[in-house]
Amino acid sequence: MPVYVYSIVSRSHPQSLDGVQGVGDPPSALRTLTVDKLSAVISDAPEELRPKRRDLAAHQAVQERLMADGTVLPLQFGFIADDEDAVRTVLEERADEFAERLQALKDCVEYHLKAGQDEEAMLRQILLESDQARRMNEEIKAGRGGPDMPLALGELVAKEIEARKDRLAALVTEALRGLAREESTVKPSGDDFLSVSFLVDRDQEERLRTVVQELAEKLGEDFNLRLRGPLPAYSFV
Amino acid sequence: MATGGGGTGNLYDIVELLLDRGLVIDVFARVSLVGLEILKVDARIVVASVDTYLRFAEACNRLDLESGRKAPAKLTDVVGEITEGGARGKTKGALSGVAESVADALKASAEEAEERHREPAVKRERPVRHRKD
């Protein structure tokens, strides 16, 4: 019978799963499977699985529950093994690798930071600071400048936005880098200029939160900083 | 600033971690994630396109530069201060009004994200531009 696999933990992890349920509707029951020094947290695989909010939340809730009691290797969402034996085989064959990762991630958590600037505010700054952009904008508003002017202004502004986003991303990352063991960036989307994960020692969590809070206050209301964590080390397994 | 773990309310910001990061065990099957694009369409917005350029131009035309907003601090100064301040240790407690309004804005955007999550991909693109003809 196919099983959905959530996480790998060490055998000595308490493996308490009170209050959490697995993916699927109705939610599947969680159980563990142990081979030698490692355990996998699994459930029966639902017949059909889609990246629905409910199932993603269930996957995440299992990680958080386990993380509360120790180190966890979170699987990516959506992995299904043919049967329990297939899971046992993987736990055997990759035992050294998993044990090494568990050791390396001991007392570490992931924090994910997304940061963006309100687009209108950024455009406003660009117009205030770039004489060329401001002049073109005035021309267009005055009905002069010809049919190609909007495109030229847009292109100039788009380049300026990209440059500003890169600069903002670098500055914010720089301010936090010293607090993290590792970092891992993802391509930001929408108005965001930064999407980055930090691997942080438990004893640096408070400091990280404080520094991000300070950054948010200093940057002001046009900026939007979302710090998520502590998370299992998805980006560092 | 908004903080918190991955509880349902915060899932939107970390969904790419669940889908793209995490331990991969390639001998297992990855379920077909039809609908995945819905969650990730934002990342694919192409910046360098005529449509984007024109949208930016129109957005600039609509801006009222005189509308007396305080010029924001230069970013280099901001980060410089933070890093220095950071070395000295914690700063005063209570959230400033600014931080609260940021938090409120975030709450709103989380709710919006919740909404967006339920909508089909097409509707999630921001309203582009309004032709007058």
Give the tens place of pLDDT for each residue, A132-144: 999 999 999 999 8
Same domain membership, residue A100 and residue A140: no
The residue among B30 and A44 whose pLDDT is bigger is: A44
Q: How far apart are CA A63 and CA A230, in angstroms?
A: 11
User: Shortest CB distance from B18 goes to which of A77, A153, A218?
Assistant: A77
A168 neighbourhood in chain B, CB within 8 Å: 75
Q: What is the pLDDT of residue B98?
A: 31
Q: What is the pLDDT of residue A191?
A: 87
Range of the domain at A167: 109-236
Mean pLDDT (chain A) is: 95
Total structural domains in chain A?
2
Mutate to test the interface with B, among A132, A226, A227 (most CBs of B within 10 A): A226
Q: How far apart are CA A4 and CA A123, in angstroms?
A: 47
Same domain membership, residue A115 and residue A102: no
Of the residues A68, A90, A106, which one is the last residue of a structural domain? A106
In sign, the C-alpha dihedral spanning B8, B14, B16, B22 is negative
Band of residue A51 on the pLDDT scale cut at 50, 70, 90: confident
Q: How far apart are CA A42 and CA B27, in angstroms?
A: 16
A59 neighbourhood in chain B, CB within 8 Å: 18
Same domain membership, residue A206 and residue A130: yes
Q: How far apart are CA B82 and CA A217, in angstroms?
A: 10
Interface ipTM > 0.90: no
Mutate to test the interface with B, among A151, A228, A235, A237 (most CBs of B within 10 A): A228
Same domain membership, residue A176 and residue A62: no
The average pLDDT across A43-66 equals 90
Same domain membership, residue A113 and residue A101: no
Least confident interval from A8-17, A25-34, A150-159, B9-18: B9-18
The average pLDDT across A118-141 equals 95
Same domain membership, residue A229 and residue A132: yes
Same domain membership, residue A231 and residue A142: yes
Same domain membership, residue A174 and residue A216: yes
CATH of the domain at A183: 3.30.70
Q: Does A144 touch chain B (CB under 8 A)?
A: no
Give the tens place of pLDDT for each residue, B12-70: 889 889 988 999 999 999 887 665 544 544 444 455 688 889 999 999 999 987 765 54
Q: What is the pLDDT of residue A135?
A: 95
Same domain membership, residue A101 and residue A158: no
Of the residues A58, A88, A106, which one is the last residue of a structural domain? A106
**Long-range contacts, stretch B72-78, CB < 8 angstroms, 24+ apart:** B72/A121, B72/A125, B72/A219, B72/A220, B72/A222, B73/A218, B73/A220, B75/A167, B75/A168, B75/A171, B75/A219, B76/A171, B78/A215, B78/A218, B78/A219
Q: What is the pLDDT of residue B3?
A: 55
Give the tens place of pLDDT for each residue, A144-188: 888 899 999 999 999 999 999 999 999 999 999 999 999 999 889
Q: B15 and A56: CB-CB below 8 Å? A: yes
Least confident interval from A51-55, A88-92, A200-204, A223-227: A51-55
User: Shortest CB distance from B3 goes to which of A121, A155, A227?
Assistant: A227
Q: How far apart are CA A113 and CA A229, in angstroms?
A: 9
Q: What is the pLDDT of residue B47?
A: 55
Mutate to test the interface with A, among B56, B100, B129 (most CBs of A within 10 A): B56
Of the candidates A102, A116, A112, A115, the one whose C-alpha atom is nearest the C-alpha of residue A198 is A112
Same domain membership, residue A89 and residue A159: no
Same domain membership, residue A186 and residue A156: yes
Q: Does A19 touch chain B (CB under 8 A)?
A: no
Of the residues A84, A106, A128, which one is the last residue of a structural domain? A106
Residues 43-102 of A with CB under 8 A from B: 49-53, 56-57, 59-60, 63-64, 73-82, 86, 89-90, 94
Q: What is the pLDDT of residue B126?
A: 40
Give the tens place of pLDDT for each residue, A71-90: 999 999 999 999 999 999 99
Q: Give yes or no for a contact between A233 and A102, defined as CB atoms under 8 angstroms apart.
A: no
Q: What is the pLDDT of residue A89?
A: 97
Q: What is the pLDDT of residue A47?
A: 84
Q: How far apart are CA B35 and CA B56, in angstroms?
A: 30
- Kindly identify which residue of chain B lies nearest to residue A45, measuring between CA atoms: B31
Q: A228 and B3: CB-CB below 8 Å? A: yes
Q: How far apart are CA A78 and CA A73, in angstroms?
A: 15
Taking phi over 0 as left and psi of -120 to 50 as alpha, with beta for the rest, A143 belongs to left
Same domain membership, residue A96 and residue A123: no
